[in-house]
Amino acid sequence: MIALLCSLFAKPVQASPTESLDERLKKALDTEVIPILKSHCGSCHMNGENEAGVNFDDYKTIDKIREHTSTWEQIRGVVRAEAMPPPDNSNMSGEERKRLSDWIQAILHDVDCQCEFPTPGVTIRRLNQIEYDNTIQDLFGIDTYPSKQIAFVSDDVGNGFDNQGEVLSIAPIMMEKYLQAASLVAKQVIITDREKLRNISHEGKALAFGSSYAATFLLAEGTYDFNVRMRFGDGQNDKCFAIAKLDGQTVREWDVESNSKNFEFTLDVPEGEHVLAIQYESDESPDKKGDPKRKLYIENIRSNGPRKRDPAFPRIHRSFVVAYPEQRDAPFSEAIGPTEASRRVFTAFLPKAYRRAVDAAEIESVVKICEAAQNEGFNYLESLQFGLQGILASPKFLFRSEKLDPALGLDDYSIANRLSYFLWSSMPDEELMNLAAAGELRHPDVLRLQVNRMLEHPKSIALVQGFFGQWLGLRNLNKIEIDKKQFTLWNNRLRDAMIRETELFCHHVLQHGSVDELTTANYSFMNPRMADFYGVSFADTDPADLYLSSSRRNSDQSKRSGSFEREDEWIRVELPKNRQGILTQAAVLALTSNPSRTSPVKRGKWILENMLGDPPPSAPPNVPSLEQAKANEKASLREQLEVHRSNPSCAGCHKIMDPIGLGLENFDAIGRWRDQEGDKSIDAQGELVDGSKFTSPAELVTLLGARKDQILENLTKKMMVYAIGRSLQRVDRCAIEQVLNYVRGRNRSIRGMVEAIVLSDTFLQSPTIQPSPTLPSPAPASTPPTGDRNDEP
């Protein structure tokens, strides 16, 4: 008889005399697994015994085991870590442990990839806070953050990310916040009081010698009065010379002294956008031009006008209000009126807001809101505000609805949205929408081109901050507390610089590198602050010479504070030999520390979970803390952990985590290199559970980096979860294998990984996950560049 190839929920592609995966797993359950469990676990977990709530008699079928995945993941973890059965009275052999843990891994995660499986669905996703703000900004072209101004409720996190459909629900308070935000945005977009536009003001900035500051004004034709308020330096007795240029032409010149003063002038300008630039042209004492106190401080630039004419509406208003009731379609025709004008406004706008094609009924529903407002006495522009509020509070705007074609999967508009929110955390741009409207986006070559175009765009930094920021935990760095008395160098500027370094590094590897560089790279990106922190030169300059504070020459580096020259300049820098890849970057090391000391346990756990995708099981209850397990007051951290591991309940997991964390002990709680802790020399040698030995952090990181296939698979799974907005299911194993094969053919590049995920059946929501082990063939891959390109997004 021909054996059934696939599980009941899958359909076989072809008949085969080979046993199915589930048949093999069921046979192993009866002949190998249950005997092992009876022999070594039965006294506590069988025959009516229910220690820790686990009774193996309840799990007689593989379906029942799969219904309790989390329980069996925990069982696998404690068995593999030799935490269970209890090591002090267990005679379970290493071979039995491996057979049992491998079987649990297979039953929970393996699947027959020669079958077609129905593609799991995705819960409809609400825009999270970042996606909401980005969408508002791109929809209207304004720099605003409504979620912060209105104080949205924090988004829940699922599977490690804040874009997962199952956790993005809407509580009543959230709906109130959306209504408030819609009103706020509508008033920013549609200007109902034109007279308020008569005065325009721009905040200025401090200018160094030879530099300039430009402010943009959108003006109607007419006469304008301009006012520039500025001063020269801090306590300077002389003056500098400044010039004003309008659209590149010099219009005024001034001597600027140390007291703040208004410099006024009047100009006639044509209608349009104009740039007024103020330049620090020259100095009475040019030999002192490098003095940081000799700066031209522009406090603000203001315009008033035009005289006796209406001021110009801003660009945002003009791009939205494309029709007015008084306009006529022909010289002698009647005015179109407010209803038709509203219809034209929302016919143009609604497809952008809903991010898809819309029908006439959807447009008319918004027009009726405007009519109702006008019937209540509101004028035309005010009625448009109400219509816009209705759109921005609609589920069609707030949710990423996806339309499925039973034969193909996601329609083109849904693909455009899924792709754009994956890579940009924002709405599709015009090119994506045009391709969707033409029905061309599904083609693999078109998708590949769009992925690469979007990754080259500055908005791809959203993928770094959204995916890498949450995968690595960078967002949590803003929440940690560091003992500033013990680590005097720690401040918000250093914290921000640490995050920025890792973001720039990840962005570079995303654009140009391979997955392997995450752990093997001998370079990073630094500003003077980070170069000083790592003890490397910055563009052939000692970063200590770039401090602006009076402590710049202090021999005690840890007491330095203040700002740097070139603080905002980031360059690619070769790392010292004791650092390599992400694992030794300051952000990760600080993130995995305690406030006053390092935490080898946190560091080991972080690497196992975040990089290798192999987290240790949760600690059993009633385990003593590290402090309770101290050997004595003067014991080193390594000695304290050895005492902690003497507890049989702790030994199994800690023998996996601790060697990794202890191998990084040369890095203190904020990630600075050290050779001693107090009066004790750091001992960074150790041995991993596979027998690999190391004597330094560099050797440890090299050993971990050698597990490149494990890191590649973990990163692929994490990025797939982020891209599709749901947890992975067993049937997704085949799609993951397809992606991995594709990435290996693309020099293991992260860019190739993004391409493969977008091309997968899982991402495109195809009706079934196909049995083919390959994705559409990519173009020939080239070796990622390894030059010294400065890569600031």
**Model confidence over 582-604: pLDDT tens digits?**
999 999 999 999 999 999 999 99
**For residue 155, is pLDDT > 50?**
yes
Stretch 241-267: mean pLDDT: 96
Let me know: does 759 contact 741? Beta carbons within 8 Å.
no
Task: Read off the pLDDT of residues 668-692 as tens digits, 9 standing for 90 and up.
Answer: 999 999 999 888 899 999 988 788 9
Scored b (16 or more CB within 10 A) or e, 204-242 reads: bebbebeebbebebbbbebebebebbbbbbeebeebbbb
Scored b (16 or more CB within 10 A) or e, 410-434 reads: bbbbbbbbbbbbbbbbbbbbeebbe
Stretch 314-331: mean pLDDT: 95
- If one counts every other C-beta atom within 10 angstroms of the C-beta of residue 506, the result is 25
Cα separation of 636 and 569, whole Å? Answer: 40
- What's the CA dihedral at 261, 264, 270, 275 to 10 degrees? -20
**For residue 90, is pLDDT > 90?**
no
The segment with the largest mean pLDDT, out of 24-28, 133-137, 731-735, is 133-137
Stretch 625-635: mean pLDDT: 54
Stretch 531-557: mean pLDDT: 77
Ramachandran region, residue 18 (left: φ > 0; alpha: ψ -120 to 50; beta: rest): beta
**For residue 291, is pLDDT > 80?**
no
- Least-confidence region, from 45-59, 253-267, 305-319, 649-663: 649-663
Q: Using DSSP, state whether 638 is helix, strand or coil.
A: helix
Decide which of 169 and 3 is more confident: 169
> Tokens 């104009």 correspond to what residue?
274
Cα separation of 41 and 503, whole Å? Answer: 47
Split at pLDDT 50, 70, 90, the class of 787 is: very low
In the predicted model, what is the mean pLDDT of the chain? Answer: 88
Among the listed residues 782, 733, 777, the one whose alpha carbon sits nearest the alpha carbon of residue 105: 733
The per-residue pLDDT for 793 is 41
Decide which of 298 and 770 is more confident: 298
pTM of the model: 0.86
Decide which of 30 and 290 is more confident: 30
> Tokens 């947890």 correspond to what residue?
727
**For residue 171, is pLDDT > 80?**
yes
The per-residue pLDDT for 13 is 39
Decide which of 562 and 518 is more confident: 518
> Tokens 């101004």 correspond to what residue?
149
**For residue 788, is pLDDT > 60?**
no
> Tokens 């006294």 correspond to what residue?
43
The DSSP symbol for 590 reads H
- Least-confidence region, from 2-16, 253-267, 469-483, 707-721: 2-16
Among the listed residues 279, 220, 209, the one whose alpha carbon sits nearest the alpha carbon of residue 244: 279
- Least-confidence region, from 163-167, 286-290, 451-455, 465-469: 286-290
Let me know: does 10 contact 112? Beta carbons within 8 Å.
yes
> Where are the extended beta strands (E) located within 462-527?
523-526
The DSSP code sequence of 344-360 is: HHHHHHHHHHHTS---H
The DSSP code sequence of 513-576 is: -BTTHHHH-SEEEE-HHHHHHHT--BTTB-GGGGB-SGGGG-S-GGG--S-BTTTT--EEEEPP
**For residue 299, is pLDDT > 80?**
yes
The per-residue pLDDT for 646 is 55
The per-residue pLDDT for 288 is 78
Cα separation of 524 and 574, whole Å? Answer: 7
Task: Read off the pLDDT of residues 442-492 as tens digits, 9 standing for 90 and up.
Answer: 999 999 999 999 999 999 999 999 999 999 999 999 999 999 999 999 999
> Where are the extended beta strands (E) located within 394-491?
399-400, 404-405, 409-410
Cα separation of 282 and 87, whole Å? Answer: 78
**For residue 286, is pLDDT > 80?**
no
- Least-confidence region, from 308-317, 623-632, 721-730: 623-632
Q: Record the tokens describing residue 104, joined without a space.
A: 């649990």
Stretch 648-666: mean pLDDT: 78
The per-residue pLDDT for 680 is 87
Beta strand 571-574 with 523-526 is antiparallel
Q: Record the tokens describing residue 655, joined without a space.
A: 């023998």
- 308 by Cβ neighbours in 10 Å (0-12 / 13-18 / 19+) ranks as exposed
The per-residue pLDDT for 782 is 42
Q: First vs last Cα of the chain: how many Å apart?
A: 61
**For residue 111, is pLDDT > 90?**
no
